[in-house]
Structure 1
Amino acid sequence: MQRQRRFKDKLANITIGMGGVTVILSILLIFFYLLYEVWPLLKGSDLTKGSSVASTTPSLYLDADEYNSRGLRIQADGQYDVIDAKSGTLLSRNPLPLPEGVTVASIKKGSVLSGLIGFGLSNGQLLVAKPQYTTQFDEATNARQVTASLEYPYGEQPIVINADSQPLTTFYVRGDESKLVVLAKTSQGLERLTFEMSGGEEAGGLSLGFGETSEGSEAALTQTERTLLPYSGGPITEIVLGQDGVWGYVFHDRNQLAIYSLRNEPVLNQEITVAEPGVDVTAVTALLGNISLIIGDSRGQASQWFQVRKETADGEKFELTKIRGVKLGDAPITALTGEPGRKGFVAGDKKGVMSYYYTTSQRLIGQEQVSTTPIRVLSVSPRSQGILVQSEDAFSFWALESEHPDVSMSSLWSKVWYESYPEASYTWQSSSGNIDFEGKLSLMPLTFGTFKAAFYAMVLAAPLAIFGAMYTSMFMAPALRRKVKPTIELMGALPTVILGFLAGLWLAPTIEASLPGIFSLLILTPLGILLFGMLWSRLPQEKRLFSEGWTPILLIVPILLIGWFSFSMSKPIEVAFFGGDVRLWLESETGLNFDQRNALIVGLAMGFAVIPSIYSIAEDALFAVPRHLTNGSLALGATQWQTLTRVVLPTASPGIFSAVMIGFGRAIGETMIVLMATGNTAVMDWNIFEGMRTLSANVAVEMGEAEVASTHFRVLFLSAFVLFVLTFVLNTAAEVVRNRLRKKYGSL
């Protein structure tokens, strides 16, 4: 018999020990899996040099396909070369459709999304082209075959810009399937020219856009507008059309910039100096979307500028504002190009140093010495996996590996000034319908929302649960306690999805319709309970129907009456004191916005879910205080209340603290209630009438839509990792405090 007992004890010890080890291993596996998914965000980038080919005549334009297989190289001799993008090997040479004896005077890229290239010709004309890459798979070799060429969406006939045949050197093109806009420095001055596509229907077929109809006939390009802009500056060095063509940026006189509003009739909106005295603007490019300008100067500094709406004496006005700058080196910047699909840019300087910088994260991703001569042309492949570099004496290819340049500690936890925003802010906006969208992945509003939801839940739950536990353990009749405690613990079994559903679809509209009644209830309930208790204490002992330990049952009726009275008086109170609409009164008188699903709803619903955990643990801790301590206190003449506050509470404080921290941890990690009852607005405001978005709810909402291995996907895992670490730190701190309290009061 003893042998069997020892065997069972040993087996139980082994089983319990293995269970504990399994739990620890499971937690560690979760930790390392989350870290594994997050780790790529923390990695840097790699710039690896490929091949380099000497060139005696520097290219004016470079481009590559998304696989870095084929590329285009254009020089001033009227030919364009198809090359192997990685090696620079010449594959074919093709003529541009130029008039006899005409050469290319300059080449300007249009907006990234359009992919247009403008050729300014030596006779004052303009030719617009677009790189075209066709991919086919060879079934025999199972290899990808890419062919490269130039197509001419507005026809092969050059457009006359300078009627006096002066070379066209400074201009910018922007176009789509129906219209082409050119802003150029012409012999007449600074002009905007608009051309429209026509002839598709007249040609007998449905127009397919970009110069071709359904029957293959070319559509005609017709000039519809030619406007001279008011310009009185010196020599123009660079022109850019920004943000859907509504802004014109004209750089002149070394470091001056004239900004034109082109929405209707062109108007000079602003004239500013973009560099310090004695510093020249040496290179300009626009980021994806043409909202931001990147300006490089002779000091080796690059700066980002975009339009910001500001309040002035004349009302609201857009002003081009410097947002951020970075010192890339001590040599003048000679080349700039933006990334085709992201908000980063690559710069090259006079000493042959190439730098890759990402604006949103404010990270200098990589910097390499790629040449010994000044860099003249840069091009980033569509997937940002390769950079083509043309210096004065060589062409080179550099492989780029940078999966998540848009994330940094600064962009995650600090304020970031995003494009078109009036100021730096904490913002979470992970997706948009625009291709040129700038991801806003700040974790601050999500972390703030997590703490806000937990705070309001604990404001409701902690006092009710702890005071309820105090009364149950010290004052309630044992028979009633045996019924009340299991009932409250049974509340914890209610699925939180049901609570969230009820909070979002029933509680939120009910509170919105009866907001004065809710606040009346919060005020009148404690007052009514105190009044009832005072009246009950004044009754003679022989007229009391219940003993002291059963009196909580009597409170049910007064509480129900107070609730009925509060809600029935809600509408009259709203009409009498708040002009009939308390929400409008809050916004007009106090400046507080009211959302139907807000922190008040979350506090009520999540507080209801958290109460059972706090109550059960706190009540057990209070009830477990040794009876000899309470009996001794009572025997020495202390009242039950004095015994509770001076003996029982200090002794049970470690357990009560654990109960509060466990409840707080559950509120931090709660998902379904905050998902369904908060509105999921990622705002940072302690206003109880506004919603929030929490880390857990954000993961639940967006994980199913996130592209696997994308920055958005990994930042969601980072949210889960932050939540994991946050709860671990809270629980660890709670355990440390609990042990100290136990040591302090354990000798009682």
Structure 2
Amino acid sequence: FDGHARQILIDNRFRHLYVSDDAGYIHHYDIGNLRSPQYRGAVQVTDSGHVSEMVLLNGTVSIIAGTSDGQIRQYFPVRDARNQHDLTHIRDFARYEAPITHIEAEHSRRGFLVGDERGNLGIHHATAAADVFDAAKTEGPLARIAISPVNSLALFADENHQLQVASVSNRHPGVSFSSLWQKVWYEGSSQPRYVWQSSAGGEEFEPKMSLVPLTVGTLKAAFYAMLFATPLALMGAIYTAYFMSPKLRGKVKPTIEVMEALPTVILGFLAGLWLAPFVENRLPAVFSILILMPIAMLAFAYLWSRLPERLRSLVPDGWEAVLLMPIIILVGWICVTASPYVEILFFDGSMRQWLTDNGFTYDQRNALVVGIAMGFAVIPTIFSIAEDAVFNVPKHLTQGSLALGATRWQTVVGVVLPTASVGMFSAVMMGFGRAVGETMIVLMATGNSPIMNFNIFEGMRTLSANIAVELTEAAVGSSHFRVLFLAALVLLAMTFVVNTLAEVIRQRLRKRYGNL
């Protein structure tokens, strides 16, 4: 290259070599093969000066470059579409009013100290894009700066060779609003991302503690659980409270409420070890049941209504639901038995492979399994509260509706549901709160992968499960430890916001239907 080299850096893997020149450029060489090094190009750091100082941060991946016009910039190699590394500008830091003369990297973090020609000293953190500290420490230029191995003491000497020591209290520089809630461009990544990866085996590992994947995972688990549980629980509550005979209701309601006493660790154990492999091996059966079961029940109800009155009178009023049990068992058995043949006929022998070929990632422990298992745990909560709300609708309202010629179904839709809507909405919110805070089911029935999507065939990691897994391993007082407590606070805030919103809606419903 043209010009004169000012500084040369080599990473600790002897893969990348960087040369700064007096024209404001950093030149990048790939020296992985020392016999044939390759020139990978140059990046312009400044167009109004030169690179006065540059240093490799801990891990020797990122470069921090300071310029003669006071700029501080971070660069590191990023893979392009050809799988080649190109040196890329990542982020800028606060600009200094004088040329940068010294940069010193911290020993165990992605932080660094900066000194300029006027004696100003600054502390910055790369990942958090944070300007932690900035103050004038000497009257003239700094001759040398250094930081202790535990990043608690800063040493700087002026041009008169006077050494000063400053105590540094900067225990959690990597935790900021941007690192927790915004996309961060981490070393080795091709673009900014939301990532939760709190620990790894290497000493040079950089913790990645974005709470966004955990929050999304919490909402994802709750969404699929409520999608499965809400229709079953509410419809079951309406039928049990209004259409079912008192004797049968006295058996059904306690049975469902007993389901709530089943420990969630048992549900999670069964979901992870039995339900997940079952769903994986019989995917067509699962979706066939979800589609055909309602159709079969509606078809049976229609045929039952068309039977002669003398035949229908053989079944006591309110006991019709018992007749559905053989239908449910038969449809389930047909779907499971026909599943292999459906796979061969429509999915080339494997629905899971067919999903993969069409761009859908499939994990054995996924949101579908969690939705079924957690829905099973949430149903008793929603059912019990909603059933009480429907059953306690004043009798004079329903009897008045029937006396005016309305059918039982018209009475349910026009009188019972509006009156019981407050209680039913409360039941749904209680179920949602239970789903958001659930720990053991999502811990045992998912892969605990902190991913950012709502794909029903992939897993997730929730706030509560993450706290349960990592809190015992986090060092007391560390950034990781504090972020886990912050995650608990976020979970509390989510529940508080949802409950507050639910209360507002309940009050409006109560005002609207309270005079019925």
* Partner of residue 245, structure 1: 14
Paired letter, 2:168? L
* Partner of residue 463, structure 2: 695
Alignment partner of 1:542 out of 299, 310, 317: 310
Alignment of 1:449-528 (within 5 A): 449-528=217-296
* Partner of residue 349, structure 1: 116
Q: Is the 8 Å Cα contact of residues 21 and 50 (structure 2) preserved in structure 1? A: no
Alignment partner of 2:50 out of 263, 280, 284: 280
The question of 1:574 aligning with 2:360 is answered no
* TM-score, normalised by the number of residues in structure 2: 0.98
Paired letter, 1:614? I
* Partner of residue 619, structure 1: 387
Alignment of 1:274-313 (within 5 A): 274-311=44-81
* Partner of residue 400, structure 1: 168
Q: 1:525-554, CA deviations, whole angstroms, 9 ceiling, x for partnerless residues?
A: 011111111121121121233123101111
Q: Could you say what secondary structure the match of 2:10 adopts?
A: strand
Q: Is the 8 Å Cα contact of residues 25 and 46 (structure 2) preserved in structure 1? A: no
* Structure 1: segments with no counterpart, 5+ residues: 1-231
Paired letter, 1:255? G
Cα displacement (A) at 1:243 = 4.7
Cα displacement (A) at 1:587 = 1.6
Relative to its length, the structure with more helix (as a share) is 2
* Partner of residue 329, structure 1: 96
Paired letter, 1:301? Q
Q: Is the 8 Å Cα contact of residues 256 and 271 (structure 1) preserved in structure 2? A: no
* Partner of residue 356, structure 2: 587
* Partner of residue 678, structure 1: 446
Paired letter, 1:379? A
Paired letter, 1:305? Y
Deviates more, 1:690-699 or 1:301-310: 301-310
Alignment of 1:79-90 (within 5 A): none
* Partner of residue 267, structure 1: 37
Aligned mates of 2:344, 2:86 — CA distance in 1: 46
Alignment of 1:54-65 (within 5 A): none
Q: Which has the larger radius of gyration?
A: 1
The question of 1:413 aligning with 2:190 is answered no
* Partner of residue 137, structure 2: 370
Cα displacement (A) at 1:666 = 0.4
Aligned mates of 1:697, 1:553 — CA distance in 2: 39
- Shift of the 350–561 alpha-carbon distance from structure 1 to 2, 3 Å rule, reads same
Alignment partner of 1:718 out of 463, 486, 495: 486
* Partner of residue 557, structure 1: 326
Paired letter, 2:108? G
* Structure 2: segments with no counterpart, 5+ residues: none
Q: Could you say what secondary structure the match of 2:290 adopts?
A: helix
Deviates more, 1:543-552 or 1:351-360: 543-552
Aligned mates of 1:390, 1:361 — CA distance in 2: 28
* Partner of residue 742, structure 1: 510
Q: Could you say what secondary structure the match of 1:548 adopts?
A: coil
Q: 1:315-356, CA deviations, whole angstroms, 9 ceiling, x for partnerless residues?
A: 221111010011232211110011001011110011111110
* Partner of residue 170, structure 1: none
Q: Is the 8 Å Cα contact of residues 351 and 374 (structure 1) preserved in structure 2? A: yes
Query: How many residues get paired?
Result: 513
Cα displacement (A) at 1:273 = 3.2
Cα displacement (A) at 1:366 = 0.8
Aligned mates of 2:460, 2:143 — CA distance in 1: 49
- Shift of the 595–705 alpha-carbon distance from structure 1 to 2, 3 Å rule, reads same
Deviates more, 1:615-624 or 1:389-398: 389-398
Q: Is the 8 Å Cα contact of residues 259 and 271 (structure 1) preserved in structure 2? A: yes
Paired letter, 2:182? S
Aligned mates of 1:299, 1:464 — CA distance in 2: 67
Cα displacement (A) at 1:505 = 0.3
* Partner of residue 383, structure 1: 150
Q: Is the 8 Å Cα contact of residues 529 and 555 (structure 1) preserved in structure 2? A: yes
Aligned mates of 2:58, 2:143 — CA distance in 1: 21
Q: Is the 8 Å Cα contact of residues 634 and 640 (structure 1) preserved in structure 2? A: yes
Paired letter, 2:501? A
* TM-score, normalised by the number of residues in structure 1: 0.68
Q: Is the 8 Å Cα contact of residues 106 and 113 (structure 2) preserved in structure 1? A: yes
Q: Could you say what secondary structure the match of 2:352 adopts?
A: helix
Paired letter, 1:688? I
The question of 1:258 aligning with 2:258 is answered no
Cα displacement (A) at 1:364 = 0.8
Q: Is the 8 Å Cα contact of residues 43 and 87 (structure 2) preserved in structure 1? A: no
Cα displacement (A) at 1:301 = 1.4
Q: Is the 8 Å Cα contact of residues 26 and 45 (structure 2) preserved in structure 1? A: no
Percent identity (aligned): 52
Q: Is the 8 Å Cα contact of residues 348 and 376 (structure 1) preserved in structure 2? A: no
Q: Could you say what secondary structure the match of 2:168 adopts?
A: strand
Segments ≥4 residues shifted beyond 3 Å:
none
Q: Could you say what secondary structure the match of 2:157 adopts?
A: strand
The question of 1:731 aligning with 2:505 is answered no
Cα displacement (A) at 1:233 = 3.6
Aligned mates of 2:214, 2:143 — CA distance in 1: 44
Deviates more, 1:445-454 or 1:576-585: 576-585
Q: Is the 8 Å Cα contact of residues 260 and 266 (structure 1) preserved in structure 2? A: no
Cα displacement (A) at 1:242 = 1.7
